[in-house]
Chains A and B, each alone.
Chain A
Amino acid sequence: MDKTKKLYESTSYQTAVGIAIVAAVFTVVVAVLLAIHVHAMKAGIPARSAELEKMKEQAKANPTDETLAQLILDTDTQLRRDQFAGLYFVKRGTILLVVTVVLLVGSILWAVSHHPKKPDVRPQGDLKTHQVRQAGLTRTTFSVAVILLCSGALFWVLHAPQTDIVPDDTAATSLYTPMEEMENQWPTFRGPGGLGVCRFENIPDTWDGASGDNILWKTPIPLPGHNSPVVWDNRVFLTGATEDKQQVFCFDADSGQLLWSGDVSIPANPDRDDMDIMEDTGYAACTAVTDGKRICAIFAGGDMGCFTVDGKLLWEKHFGIPDSMYGYAASLTAYEKTVIVQWDVGYEEGDESKSKLIGLDWQTGNTVWETHRPVVNSWSSPTVVNVGDGYQILTTAAPFVIAYDAKTGSELYRTECIEGDIAASAIIAANKIFAIEPYNKLVAVNTENASGNVTETHILWENDSEMPDICSPVANEQFVWTLVTQGLLGCYNVADGEDVYAQEIKGSFQASPTLIGDRMYLLAEDGAMLIVGTGAEYAELKRNELGEKCYACPAFQDGRIYIRGKESIYAIGAGK
C-alpha cells in the first residue's frame, strides 16, 4: 500500500500525469479551433465563388466594363489568397495536432510505465478440454469468416453499382439514331443513304415562284452556299459561309422562321489565304448531316462543327486546310453512332495518298475509326447503303470505287475503274453500284460476293456515252439515269448498260436528279423544275418555275419540297 502511495507521489509520475493533462487540453483546443476554421472555410469560400461567377456572367454580357473586369480580378485574387491561407492554416494545425497527440500518448505511456504489468498466474483449467475446444472454435470461426467473405464477394458482384457497360448495349445506343429512322427522313445530301430516291409519293408537282402558288414560305439565307437542305421532322438545316464566317442554320419547316444559327470557328491558319476555292464551289459546298438529335456540318477550310438540333454547340473539329483543286465539297453522311467524312485531298495515289475516310462519334467528335484511302482529291460524297446483311459506305475517287464496312470503316472491296476529277457520287440499285467517270463512262459493279480488288471480276458493264461531270446518277431496279450539266438526260438499262434514250433538255444542271415513284425531278440552274416520267421513253410531265437561281439538290419530305435558291430557301407544298 505504502509502495503504491509512494509511486503516485513520485515526481516522475506526477510530471507524466501533468504533461498528459496539459497535452489532452491542448489537443482538444487545437482540434476544436481547426474544426471551426474548416467549417468557416467550407461555408465561406463557395459562397464567395458563387458571387464571382455571377460577376463573370455580368462581364460576359457587358465585356467593355473595365471596372467590373478589375473587380473580378481583385475578387479572384483575394479568393485565391484566402483559400491558400486557409489551407496553410489547416496544414500547420494538423502538424500541431499530431505533435500534441504524440505528447499525450507519450506522457500516458510514461505514467503507465510506473506500474508495469505483473504476470497473471491463475490456476489452469482442464488443458485437454481447452485445447480441443480451442482448435474446434478456431476452425468454426475461420470457416464462418470464409463464408462471410465469399458472401460479401458475391454480394459485391450482384449488387454493387454498375461500373461497366458493353459498348453495344441499349443504354449506349439510346443516344444514337437507328438507320431505320434515318431512312424515313431527309438527313443527308440526296436523302436517305445519299441515293437520290424519295420514299414519299405525295410530293407536290405544281408551283410557281412568281405568283407564289404552292410556295409555303420563302426565307432569305444569311450566308451563301451550294449545299443542300437536310430535313428532320419540323426542322430544316443548311449551312452558309464566306471567307471569314461559317454558320449552320436551322429553319422551322412550317413557318420558314430562322430558329437559330450556329457559328463554326475558323482557326487562324496562314494556309487559308492560299485555299483554292472556285466560285462554283464556294466555302459551303458540303451538305450537312442530321440524325434528328444533332446536326453536323463541314466547310471548305476543313472546319467541322456539331450542334444539337436546338443549336447548342457540342464539339468542333478542325482537319486543317484541305489540298483540293476546286475547293473541298464532299458532303457528310452518317451511320448509327458515327458521322462519316470523306477526306479526299492531295494529288498522290496509293500509299502516298493523304486521303482518308473518317468515322467520328456523333456525340463527342472523337475519331471512332480512320481508314487510309489510296486516292487523289475528289468532290464526290460517300453514300451509305444496305448490302446483304450490313451497311456499306460507297466512295468514288480516282482511280477507285471502294466499299467500306460502315461499322468499322475497314475496306471491303475496290474496283479500279474511274479516272479524272470525280464529283458524282456512287449509288446502288439491284445489287449494282453505279459510278461515273466524268464525260466518259458509266460503270456498273456487282456487289455480290465482292471482296478485295474486284476489278477483274465484278465490273458488269461500262457505257461510254457522254457522261456528267457534276451530277450524280439515280436508278431504280430497271433504269439508271445520268444528267449532263449542259442538259442531256441519259437513260440506260440496269441489267446490261444498253442505251435506252438520250434526251436533250432545256437548261443547265448542277443539282442531281431525284426519283419519286414513277417521276423524276430535275432542277435546272435557272430555278425551273422539270418533272419527267421514268418509263423507257422520255416524257416531260411538268415544268415549274421558281424564279431564282438554284445549284443545290432539293430536299423532299412528306408532301413538301425544300429548295435552296441562291438567296433564299423555299418550302413548296400543296394547298397554298
Chain B
Amino acid sequence: MLFMTRTLPFLFCFAFGMTGFAIYYVPHEWAQSVEREFALWLRLVYAFAYILGLVSLLSLHWSKIRQRQAGWAYSLIVYISFGVMFLFVVYNDGNGPFTSQATTGPYQWMFTSIHVASSATMFSMLAFYISSAAYRTFRARTPEAAILLVSAIIVMLGRVPIGAYISDVIPDTMQWLMSVPNMAAKRGILMGVSLGAIATSLRIIFGIERSYLGGGGD
C-alpha cells in the first residue's frame, strides 16, 4: 500500500516534472505536442480544483451548522445565498445549464449588486486601517526607516497630480526612485525568488520535498 500512497505519486511527479523540464529544450514537433497536452491537462485539472474548493467551503459551514457552533446562523446565510445564486446559475436567464453563459438576467444582477459591491468594499476598507497604522507606527526611528519613510512620501506625492502641482521636481524624483533604486532592489528580490523557486522545483521533482502529498503515513 505504501507504494500506491507514497511511491507512485512520487514517480508520477518525477516523470511529469522531468518531461516538463526536458521538452522546453527540444524544438521537435513531438515535444511541442507533449507540451500542448500538458498545458491542456493542467487547465482541466484546475477546473476540478474549483469543485474541491467549493465542497471544502460548504463542508466547513455545514459542520458549523451541524454542531451549532457560535455564529452558526451566519453559516446558514452562506448556504441560503449560495443556494439562491446557484439556482440563478442553473437557470441561466432561462437558457438552462447546457448552453453558453447568459450575460444578462438575475445571475449577472446578483454578481453586480452583491458580489462586486461587497468585494470592492471589503478591500477598500484597508484604506482606513492602513492610514491609521501609518499614523501610529510609521516612524523614522533608524536611518533605514527614515529612507523608507522619505521614499514612501516622495512616491505618494509624486504619483498623484498634487506632486506636479507643488513642484515638477517631485514627480521627476519619484520616477527616478522607481526606475533606479526601486528597480534594482526588485530585480535583486526577483532573482532571489526565482533561484528559490527553481531550487524548490528541483527538490519537488527529485522527491526531496514531498509536502504536497499531505500528512499521514499512508
Partners in one complex: no
Show the binding face of B for A, using Cβ within 8 Å: none
